[in-house]
Amino acid sequence: ITLGGIAKQSGSFTVQGRKRPVFSLAAWAESQSCYISQRFYESMRKNGVDGIYYSNARGDHAEAAYMLAKTGLFGLPNYYYYAPKPDKARQGFPLNQNSLNDPEYLAQQSQKMLALSEIWSKYDVYCYTDGSDKKRGGNSFDEPSIAAFKLWMQNRYQSVEKLNQEMGSQYHSFAELKPLPLEMARKQNALPLWIEYNRFFEERFLDYFKVMLQLARQQDLNGKAYLGPDGFGRLDPFEFCGMYELLQTVNYFNLYTYQDPPQMEIGRSLLQYCPNVSFRSIYAGSYGSQYMNYEFMRSIPWFMLLHGYNGFFWYMGNGKLSYSSEGCLAFMPDLRPSEGFMVAAEQIQEMRKGTANLVAVSKRRHDGIAVLYSNDSVAAATVDKQENLLRQSLSTLQQILEDTGLQYDYIPPEKIEDGALQENYRLLFLPCILSLSENCLAGIERFVQAGGMVIADQMPGKYDGLLRKGPQEKLQDRFAAKQEWRLFDWKNYGRLRRQAKAGKARREEILELMQGKLTRLSSFAENGLPNVEKIEYELPGAGLLLAALNYSAEEQALQLELPGDKFVYDLRQGQELGQLTERQLTMRGGEVQIFALLDEKLPETKIELLPKTESDPDFRLLCNNGRQSNAYHLQVFDAAGNERAEYADTVLNNEVYTLRPALNDPRGTWTIKVREAISGKISQIQVKR
């Protein structure tokens, strides 16, 4: 516009690079790009939300992406996920009209994903997600899929002779392969070909994730992007895929709290083998048993953090129009946060001041206990119609171990076969293991020969890895000897744990069985309590983080027995407790207590202001407690004494903190206060600009 000879123009540009929180809070919201949505976004950002999910069903991506970025939020766009379209007229052999083996369909999805990521990649994207509970849709028996399967089998087996040897079949060529749906395969004794066809489709499903992730990376200005499934947590061989295979493919995933609970522990355990998975979160929030349940809201953020997840995905954030949960939202129609939301958000604000940083660089301990996670056994349970028994076996095993104060990891068959089991564990549990391959059994036998013990709730190995007759008969003699192979049916513990005397007796039985094999550093007196879990992390500079979590609504009193000669600190109270061998805990409902156990008493914090030139506007600080692990939360106050929350940060021991004041910030003496995460002590330093 030209006025009086003065030319004026306005425009906008994007700046990427917002620091990702060490623990994030995202919201699944009824997101739009209107004025009211913007007001919701502003309130969410003000009250601790980092990012908003945005559905690809809405057509205003460009406006929404810009609005979220302008509000200071990460985007969580809905990528073009695979959505099966079953042909309902097809009887007997299920068929998806949009096959994962149809090049034309895959090309169309790729073009849509490219266009979508081109819009969102201008801004800070937390991750691309599929929008909740999307399914594979089982196996499709369309001609392109069957033809692709035959080639896949030829590459897998190389020769028909080897195929027949492995499967006990009599094929003359790979062209003869005719996969069947499960019911037909069960009747015709064709389960080996059925499970291979299922594996083929799992692989194609994972290939789809790979393509979408690569396209998102291709469009990103920095060549980085994060993408994965959102909320499919059921143990189901048809509708999804194995968790281990999934986590080797994607770099983000999200689960529900209420689907098959073992999946949260399975996912947590497998992360040690899948370092590519940078971000992982759990849905919680506006559900009937959770919303306004303050005990739950006090504990669930800590549960997520201490179980390897670094994000809380709140469902449901807001709901102006169409959602039935609009009576129990994170944010009300007047834009204010609900009380339940704020209880959880306050926990997240606290953990971001150091505890989450320490957990992120620490290694979770186990007590020498491994649990076999077998996706083939999930398939075998489906074949035998024993899905509920499998879930019961996994769930009650977790309950009895956690109630007893024990820590464990799930381990996939591949890591048993390559020796990781015998290198790291002394006990192996086999929960409803219906399928046991020859290679996996050989790995277990090497583990036992090296001094390990195996405990199963029922005789394992009805099937082998191809669902043919398995090694069950061979194993009966080993379990009958009752030495290093033991049978112990823990599935009734789900009922017994509600009875104080019977539950305690059952926990004592399993402890007696494991005697001499556990590698515990701490324990609960009286063999633990139901709904109270103990978790330990090894700090990188020596020492432990130890957490006790009370998931019940009732107050719990118990005694924590500690390794001797350790200096104990209460992180949440900011107190030094001295050298203790035990600690009496009184925990209100939903309370989480966290302690640091160090070999030496923490020395005073040293704050070092690094050298700078006169023209350098930045101030760089180092904080440390010598060799000990610690984290430090820094608060910044400007020359007028006003707290500047935008400059606050949390750093680890000897990690550089940079204060970069804006050009129009006040001149004078600024104060930086440093709070230690472990001891709670506060130090400060002043800088002049």
Residues 212-260: pLDDT tens digits? 999 999 999 888 999 999 988 788 888 888 999 999 999 999 999 988 8
pLDDT band at residue 1 using 50, 70 and 90 as cut-offs: low
Average pLDDT over residues 330-335: 86
Residue 2 has pLDDT above 90, yes or no: no
Per-residue 3-state assignment (H helix, E strand, C coil) for 526-593: HHCCCCEEEEEEECCCCCEEEEEEECCCCCEEEEEEEEEEEEEEECCCCEEEEEEEEEEEEECCCCEE
- Tokens read off for 8: 């004026």
pLDDT of residue 467: 97
Rounded Cα gap, residues 88 and 342, in angstroms: 46
- Tokens read off for 361: 């660089």
pLDDT of residue 9: 76
Alpha helices in 98-256 (DSSP H): 103-120, 143-157, 160-167, 182-187, 191-219, 243-247
- Tokens read off for 687: 């800088």
Cβ distance 569 to 629 under 8 Å? no
Rounded Cα gap, residues 125 and 141, in angstroms: 37
Residue 466 has pLDDT above 80, yes or no: yes
Region of poorest pLDDT, from 82-91, 99-108, 148-157:
82-91
pLDDT band at residue 46 using 50, 70 and 90 as cut-offs: very high
Residues in the chain: 689
Rounded Cα gap, residues 436 and 455, in angstroms: 15
pLDDT digits (tens, 9 = 90+) for 129-149: 998 888 898 999 999 999 999
In whole angstroms, what separates CA 194 from the centre of its chain? 31
Rounded Cα gap, residues 270 and 623, in angstroms: 33
- Terminal alpha carbon distance of the chain: 39
Residue 2's alpha-carbon distances to 6, 9, 155, 217, in angstroms, are 5, 9, 70, 42
CA dihedral 75, 50, 46, 71 (to 10 degrees): -20
**What φ, ψ does residue 669 adopt, rounded to 5°?**
-95, 125
The whole-chain average pLDDT of the chain stands at 93
pLDDT digits (tens, 9 = 90+) for 485-503: 999 999 999 999 999 999 9
Which residues have C-beta within 8 Å of that of residue 644, sequence separation ≥ 6? 636, 637, 638, 665
**Residue carrying structure tokens 């977790």:** 398
Rounded Cα gap, residues 267 and 280, in angstroms: 9
Which residues have C-beta within 8 Å of that of residue 493, sequence separation ≥ 6? 396, 399, 400, 503, 506
Please tell me the pTM assigned to this model: 0.95
Residue 516's alpha-carbon distances to 75, 451, 453, 551, in angstroms, are 51, 11, 10, 29
Cβ distance 5 to 294 under 8 Å? no
Of the candidates 190, 75, 80, 93, the residue with the CA atom closest to the CA atom of residue 142: 93
Domains of the chain: 24-87+99-134+206-361 (3.20.20.80), 365-509 (3.40.50.880), 521-598 (2.60.40.1180), 606-688 (2.60.40.10)
Rounded Cα gap, residues 361 and 145, in angstroms: 44
**Residue carrying structure tokens 């999805």:** 109
pLDDT digits (tens, 9 = 90+) for 562-586: 998 899 999 999 999 999 999 999 9
Q: Which residues sit opposite 60 in a β-bridge?
A: none
pLDDT digits (tens, 9 = 90+) for 270-327: 999 999 999 999 999 988 789 889 999 999 999 999 999 999 999 887 765 444 444 5
Q: Residue 256: in which H helix or E strand, if any?
A: strand 252-256
pLDDT of residue 280: 96
Residue 375's alpha-carbon distances to 243, 330, 380, 412, 660, in angstroms, are 8, 36, 9, 8, 51
Q: Within 10 A of 179 (CB to CB), how many other CB atoms are there? A: 23
pLDDT band at residue 3 using 50, 70 and 90 as cut-offs: low
Residue 176 has pLDDT above 70, yes or no: yes
pLDDT of residue 238: 81
- Tokens read off for 484: 């290093």
